[in-house]
Structures are given as structure tokens and as C-alpha cells.
Structure 1
Amino acid sequence: MQIQTVGIFSPGDMGGAIASVLHQNGLRTVAALDDRSERTQQLAAAVQVENVGSLQNLVSESDVILSVLVPSAATQAAKQVAQAIQQLGKSVVYADCNAIAPDRVKEIATIIEGAGGQFVDASIIGPPPHVPNRTRIYASGKQAETLAQLRDYGLDVRVIGDEIGQASGLKMCYAALTKGLTAIATELLIAAHRLDLEDVLWQELSTSQKELFDILQRSIPAMTPKAHRWIGEMEEIAATFGAVGLTESTFTGAADIYRFVKDTPLGKETPEERDRDRSFADVIAILSQ
């Protein structure tokens, strides 16, 4: 099958950026924006995603659907698409690109394939692909090579195996390091602020952990408006590690940190609203209040 139209479910920060790359490289991108928020509709319009209205129309128009959602929405989205596949009697390739545990992605594969669709396990590592060569999409499953066609349209798609669960497992392990570290650092920096040890800790980190501290000064301010999305991701990592006999506690704790950040003034901002000139010290001070 030659991909001509890609459905984006849904064109938020990551989904919209992916759609923009595909559109710029010649593919038609569509989304079902009935009942979606004004922000989502504006993000879609900004990257020239065509609004086809209903989810049934999305399935009808698409060769491939990329599911790019918060983890908590992944299963319900798949059920809705599966229902449309059955109603239309049309097979479509459904790529779950969400940050979810391998066991859950296998359940979603069963939902899609049981309805007559084809399934790809996919995971996104890196930021929204506004800059080339910074974002990878790993894919696994017997239909993964179909998704690999998107390499011809500006995306870095890497097939790593034919088993469902491999791509999502890779994402869980990678995010455990990056977002798990951000959670730990956020908590300890707030603790230092409340203990009135902020200056001396920062001086020590600047001396003995300079490269890491430089990374944290970029990652923590960028995290705050996305913390609400990362709660579910930490819970999925916990489930992944629990399934292979490891403790879940590390990442249920990380989920608690992101739940805390979500309820702060910084956590209530959208990525577009974030003040990029706000100092790192101010970010920690606001979180500490």
C-alpha cells in the first residue's frame, strides 16, 4: 500500500508537528476536529491539517492513522477507531504512538486487528520534530515497514522488530531515564529551595555536575506546562517495570511529582503561554510556593 493520506489523532503539540513535517513533504494530513477544543483546532489549522469532521470520516479518508495522545486516552481512541473500521468495512493501518506499557499496546493491537484493521506499535523519542534529526519514531510489528514509508516524507522512522510491544517498551525505558530524572531533579531542587540551600547546591552542581545541571536548566522549565501529560506516562513506566519483576514505586513517585507540578501556576500554562524568558531560579521559586 502506498501512503497518500495520514490521519492525525490528535494534532496537539506533537501530533501537529508531525503533521507539519508530512504536509511540507507532500502528504495529505487530516484530523477529526468535531467537538475538539479551540486550541486543538487552531494548532491543526496552523500546520494545514485538513478537518474532515468526524472520526468515521477520518478512518474513511486515511491510509494510516497516527494516534498521538495522552496515555489515558489511548485505549478509548483505539476502540472508537475500531468501531469506525467495522462500520465502514475498511482496513486502515493504525499506529499507536503513545507512551504506554507493552502489555497495554498489545491489548490495543487486539482491538484494532479484531475489527479488521492493521496495527503498528510505535514510539516517539525526542521533542516535536520542528528541527530535523532530533526526533525518532521507532516501530515494531508485522506492519511496521508500512509505517517506514514515512521516511520518504521527512520523518525518521526506525523499524526495530516484528513484535508488538518492542517499540513501546523502548519508549518506557528511555523515558524512565529522561523524564524520571527530570522528576527527581525537580523534587530535590524544590527541597533545596525550601531548606534555604539553593545557592550552595547550585554552586556545587555547577562545579561537579555541570553538564547535567545545564540539561536540567533547560528541561525543567520546558516540562512544567506538560506535567499533566507526564503523569500517565510515569504510571505506564511503573506498570512496565512491575510486569518484568521490578519495583513500581520509583515511577509512581515520579507521577506524584508531575501531579504536584500540574497544580501549580506553571503547570496550568499551555506550552504557548510559557514565558521563555523566565529565569530558572524563578521557575523553582514558583514551584516551591
Structure 2
Amino acid sequence: MKIGFIGFGEVASTISKKLLDNNVDVLSSINGRSDKTKKLAKNSGIDLVNSFEDVALSSDILISTVSPFEALEISKKYGILTNGIFLDLNNISPKTTLEIFDFFKGINEKKSSNFIKGSIIGKISSKNQIIYLSGENSNDLILLKDYGLNIKVIGSNITDASYIKMIRSIYSKSLTAVTYEAFKISESLNMEDEFFEVLSITEGKDFEIQARSRIKSLKNSHERKYEEMIEILKFLESIQSSNDFRANNMIKATKNKFKDIK
């Protein structure tokens, strides 16, 4: 079995390691990628081919791990080329998920049925992380449990995995934004230690570890998280009336906070 990745950041790197440890052939390309991505891919031990077209054509399972803004374009450019399963693991809205599905359905039924939406719940490097899957043929990927991945199929409706990711992200990303802002204020007052101390009383002894992890992750990937917040707003706009949508001030504030981080 060959599994290919379009995009090779933290998600692809972490999943690849598990697959390689279980003797799966993993491939990707570094054509046109950043120096950071090239270094990560070269050090990972995966097979590097000349182009992403080659990745798509050679893979039994093709996995998209790019930014939310790129997800639709990538599916149209490379997802169409694979004869196997196309798995999208990007944090995209149900609306974008349906756009990808409709694109494949416009080609043929096989393409749309072989499109599977995946949502990573939990930090990708965490032992407790789960990949939720939805789509007509999502049960075909249960076999990945045998290759080191924690998989859970939640439905045949292509948008199900995206829905659960959006709901969780509304909570977790808003919490991250509030934590970051409170931390920066305490830092400016030279009360960083006191900030963690008083909140650990009510939030638990592991609060500082978890909070610092959130803050570090946000600093390192705030641009991607900003794109994810835009996907969340698309989701809310699609399920609420215009009056309700205008009330989502916390979600909008979170998006703007992620955009402004330096």
C-alpha cells in the first residue's frame, strides 16, 4: 500500500512516522515547497518523487494536509488524479467540504464516493488524538488502525467529520485566544508566574503546561489558525440567520486576534 501526502508540515510528518513504523510506503514531493518543508520531508525517511502529480498518480490513498485556503484548489488539482481514496485532513468548513464533494461528483460517482473527509481531534502529536472520518467509503480506511493511526468513522454523510471539528474549534480556539490575551496582559504587568498560579487553583495543576502549549502553538501557526477561523465563520453563516450571525462577536474577535499576532 502506498500513501501519498500533498503538503508536508507537522501533520503529514507525524502521521508519516507512524505509517513508516508500520512498514507503509509513504511518498510526497518537495517541488516548489519552502526550505523548512524540504528539510522536514528529507529528514522524515519518506520517498520523494518529482512532482505532486506523481504523488497523486502513484498513491492508493492520497492525503491533503495543506492550509484551509488551499484545500479546494488542491482537491481539484491533485485529488482528481488519484485512482484511489482522496482523504482531506484540512480544517475546512462543511461548505468547503461540499464544494469538494460536488466537484468530484461532477466528474463521476466513483470520484465522489472515494472522497473522505477527515478531522483531527486533539494535538497531532498526542497519544489521545483521534482522526474522525466521514463519507460513503470511509469504512475503507478502518484498515489504517492496523498501521498506527487512531481512526473513528462517524458517518457516511461527507460533512459529518467537518461538523464535529467546527463545533470543537469554536470552543478550543476561542479559549486559546482568551488564554493568550490574558497571558500577554500578565506578562506586561510582570505577573506571569502569578497568572499561572491563580488559574491553576481553579483550572487544575496542569493548567500552566496546557496554557503554554496553546500559546506556543498559536505563535507558531497563527496564520493557519486565522484561516481556520474564517472557515468557522463560513460554517456559522451557513446554519444561522443573518441576525444570529451578527451576534458571533467572540468568534470574530478570535479571528482578528489570530490575524494580529506577530
CA distance in 1 between partners of 2:192 and 2:90 (Å): 36
The TM-score, its normalising length taken from structure 1, stands at 0.80
Task: Indicate the SS of the match to 2:217.
Answer: helix
Residue 180 of structure 1, CA deviation: 1.9
Contact 1:94 1:112 in 2 (8 A): no
> What runs of 5+ residues in structure 1 fail to find an aligned partner?
265-289
**1:196-215 matched pairs, under 5 angstroms:** 201-211=195-205, 213-214=207-208, 215=210
Q: Is 1:110 paired with 2:102?
A: yes
CA distance in 2 between partners of 1:38 and 1:198 (Å): 35
Could you tell me which residue of structure 2 aligns to residue 32 of structure 1? 29
Residue 36 of structure 1, CA deviation: 1.5
Contact 2:119 2:131 in 1 (8 A): yes
CA distance in 1 between partners of 2:206 and 2:259 (Å): 24
Aligned to 1:69, which of 66, 71, 74?
66
- My pick for the range that moved more, 173-182 or 189-198, is 189-198
CA distance in 2 between partners of 1:99 and 1:48 (Å): 26
Q: Is 1:260 paired with 2:255?
A: no
Could you tell me which residue of structure 2 aligns to residue 279 of structure 1? none
CA distance in 1 between partners of 2:234 and 2:139 (Å): 28
Could you tell me which residue of structure 1 aligns to residue 122 of structure 2? 126
Residue 113 of structure 1, CA deviation: 3.7
Task: Indicate the SS of the match to 2:37.
Answer: helix
CA distance in 1 between partners of 2:212 and 2:139 (Å): 38
AA paired with 2:33? R
Contact 2:79 2:86 in 1 (8 A): no
Residue 23 of structure 1, CA deviation: 1.3
**1:31-180 matched pairs, under 5 angstroms:** 31-82=28-79, 85=81, 91-116=83-108, 117=111, 118-129=114-125, 133-180=127-174
Q: Is 1:249 paired with 2:249?
A: yes
- My pick for the range that moved more, 248-257 or 186-195, is 186-195
Root-mean-square deviation (CA), in Å?
A: 2.1
Q: Is 1:240 paired with 2:232?
A: no
CA distance in 2 between partners of 1:126 and 1:67 (Å): 18
Q: Is 1:184 paired with 2:181?
A: no
CA distance in 2 between partners of 1:147 and 1:160 (Å): 12
Q: Deviations over 1:75-107 (max 9, x none)?
A: 111111145x2xxxx622111111011111011
4+ aligned runs moved over 6 Å, structure 1: none
Contact 2:4 2:61 in 1 (8 A): yes
Residue 168 of structure 1, CA deviation: 0.9
- My pick for the range that moved more, 44-53 or 191-200, is 191-200
Could you tell me which residue of structure 2 aligns to residue 219 of structure 1? 214
Contact 1:30 1:51 in 2 (8 A): yes
The TM-score, its normalising length taken from structure 2, stands at 0.87
Residue 204 of structure 1, CA deviation: 3.3
Q: 1:7 to 1:207 in 2, by over 3 A?
A: same
What is the aligned-residue identity percentage? 26
Task: Indicate the SS of the match to 1:204.
Answer: helix
Q: 1:109 to 1:50 in 2, by over 3 A?
A: same
AA paired with 2:18? V
Residue 200 of structure 1, CA deviation: 5.7
CA distance in 2 between partners of 1:47 and 1:203 (Å): 39
Q: Deviations over 1:164-194 (max 9, x none)?
A: 1100111111122222201111123324445
